[in-house]
């Protein structure tokens, strides 16, 4: 995006509703989880102020497309801003009467964090610090931080519980998320802020990130291209469907806990081999697999203990892996259908 600052799709009705709707600031609003979160907030009649810098970690056109459906909603406004720019983000807080914050903007992805650790820390730690400072200054009622299962690192005990020590991160990304959690805890303690850190476990579904296996493998297998399988296919991920994650985020937002860390996962890890075979079956194609060693920074298993999420958020993941991947693949076929209205953008994107 070329503009340094400003609303991209914002439409102000010019009128105030008789009942004042709560305004939620969502950072990373144009991303995968952010765009789904914004949609659900709008569905529940919140006003949504999005912030995203549309960076090129993956094609910014995809991010614009992610929020296309809500772009004209009068209760949605998006600012093209970088969370590292304190004064510009402060201007947004001054202008908009923000009630709560859902902070999802981050450099995501484990492997690239080994190449660009400074960038990851700058965005994920300093950016988070900026938002916490503003949450303090503007007396925000609740702050949700998008953390990650990666903070468990090579945890020996499974399933991963919030009670376990998390001092064994094995990538800069994971350390940056742990640092974000620590800052959240400190700010909640010092300034009596309500903050909940949600540890997401491998989120997948429609509009999934193009750098993540669910989308990447679908795209490659669909196009008869080889996929790289790290290890012998026995590594496991606790894939969690996007709608389940969003429902957990919204409940945490509405609960206003003083300080909690909560896992949001499916609690049903899937072997990589099985994961690939589900995609093959759904696409009716055979994957051309190239086996590679497990990269540094990757963990062998993620597995969420969700008893705390069940207790505090009544969290109950509903979508099983076969159904979730089927939804992702249906969506994938839709956006790649030449007859579809989204096809021009998706063709331009040439997602690798």
Ligand X SMILES: NC(=O)c1ccc[n+]([C@@H]2O[C@H](COP(=O)([O-])OP(=O)(O)OC[C@H]3O[C@@H](n4cnc5c(N)ncnc54)[C@H](O)[C@@H]3O)[C@@H](O)[C@H]2O)c1
Give the per-residue contact string, 173-212, with ligand X (x = CB under 6 A; - = no): ---------------------------x-xx-----x---
**Measured distance CA(26)–CA(29) in Å, rounded:** 5
Please tell me the distance from the alpha carbon of residue 213 to that of residue 207, in angstroms, as a whole number.
Answer: 13
The set of residues, in sequence order, having a beta carbon less than 8 Å from that of 274 and lying 6+ positions away, is: none
Closer CB to ligand X, 82 or 305, in the complex? 82
Torsion sign over Cα 37, 252, 168, 116: positive
Contacts of ligand X in 120-149 (CB under 6 A): 123, 127, 146, 148
Picking from 222, 237, 220, 1, the residue whose alpha carbon sits closest to that of residue 110 is 237
Is 152 one of the annotated active-site residues of the chain?
Answer: no
Rounded to a whole number of angstroms, the minimum distance from the CB of residue 286 to ligand X is 27
Nearest CB to ligand X, comparing residues 327 and 338: 327
Does 83 participate in binding ligand X (rule CB under 6 A)?
Answer: yes
Tokens of 150: 């990666």
Residue 89 near residue 272 (C-beta atoms within 8 A): no
- Per-residue b or e along 220-258, where b marks 16 or more CB atoms closer than 10 Å to that residue's CB: bbbeeeebebeeeeebbbbbbbbbbbbbbbbbbbebebe
Residue nearest to ligand X (CB): 31
Residues 209-238 that bind ligand X (CB under 6 A): 209
Helix (H, G, I), strand (E, B) or coil at 125: helix
Q: What angle do CA 170, 208, 184 make, to 5 degrees?
A: 50
Of 21 and 111, the one with the shorter C-beta distance to ligand X is 111
Catalytic residue among 46, 173, 215, 239: 173
Whose tokens are 């990304």? That residue is: 173
We find the least distance from the C-beta atom of residue 5 to ligand X, in angstroms, to be 12
- Contacting residue, 82, 99, 206, 305, with ligand X by CB under 6 A: 82
Number of residues that bind ligand X (CB under 6 A): 30
Backbone angles phi, psi at 61, to 5 degrees: -60, -35
CB of 98 to ligand X, least distance (A): 16
Rounded to a whole number of angstroms, the minimum distance from the CB of residue 31 to ligand X is: 2
Binding to ligand X in span 16-75, by CB under 6 A = 27-28, 30-34, 51-55, 57, 63
Q: Taking the CB of residue 270, how many other CB atoms lie within 10 A of it? A: 18
Pairing of strands 270-271, 236-237: antiparallel
Least separation in angstroms between residue 32's CB and ligand X is 3
Subset of 94-123 contacting ligand X (CB under 6 A): 104-108, 123
Chain positions contacting ligand X, by CB under 6 A: 27-28, 30-34, 51-55, 57, 63, 82-84, 104-108, 123, 127, 146, 148, 200, 202-203, 209
The catalytic residues are: 173
């Amino acid at each position: 995006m070329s503009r340094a600052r400003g609303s991209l799709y914002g439409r102000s009705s010019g009128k105030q509703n008789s009942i004042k709707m709560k305004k939620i600031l969502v950072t990373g609003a144009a991303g995968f989880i952010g765009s789904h979160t914004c949609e659900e907030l709008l569905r529940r009649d919140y006003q949504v102020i999005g912030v995203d810098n549309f960076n090129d970690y993956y094609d910014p056109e995809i991010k614009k497309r992610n929020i296309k459906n809500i772009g004209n909603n009068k209760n949605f406004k998006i600012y093209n801003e970088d969370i590292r720019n304190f004064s510009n983000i402060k201007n947004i807080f001054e202008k908009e009467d923000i009630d709560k914050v859902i902070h999802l903007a981050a450099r995501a992805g484990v492997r690239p964090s080994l190449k660009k650790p400074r960038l990851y820390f700058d965005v994920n730690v300093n950016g988070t610090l900026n938002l916490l400072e503003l949450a303090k200054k503007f007396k925000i009622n609740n702050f949700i931080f998008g953390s990650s299962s990666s903070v468990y690192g090579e945890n020996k005990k499974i399933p991963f519980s919030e009670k376990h020590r998390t001092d064994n991160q094995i990538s800069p990304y994971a350390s940056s998320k742990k640092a974000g959690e620590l800052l959240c805890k400190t700010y909640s303690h010092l300034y009596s802020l309500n903050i909940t850190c949600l540890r997401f476990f491998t989120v997948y579904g429609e509009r999934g990130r193009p750098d993540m296996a669910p989308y990447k493998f679908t795209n490659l297998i669909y196009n008869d291209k080889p996929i790289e399988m790290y290890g012998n296919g026995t590594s496991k991920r606790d894939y969690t469907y996007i709608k389940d994650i969003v429902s957990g985020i919204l409940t945490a937002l509405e609960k206003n806990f003083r300080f909690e860390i909560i896992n949001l996962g499916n609690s049903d890890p899937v072997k990589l081999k099985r994961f690939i075979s589900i995609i093959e079956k759904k696409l009716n194609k055979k994957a051309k697999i190239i086996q590679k060693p497990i990269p540094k920074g990757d963990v062998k298993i993620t597995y969420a203990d969700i008893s705390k999420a069940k207790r505090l958020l009544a969290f109950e993941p509903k979508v099983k892996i076969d159904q979730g991947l089927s939804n992702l693949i249906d969506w994938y076929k839709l956006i790649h259908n030449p007859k579809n209205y989204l096809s021009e953008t998706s063709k331009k994107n040439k997602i690798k």
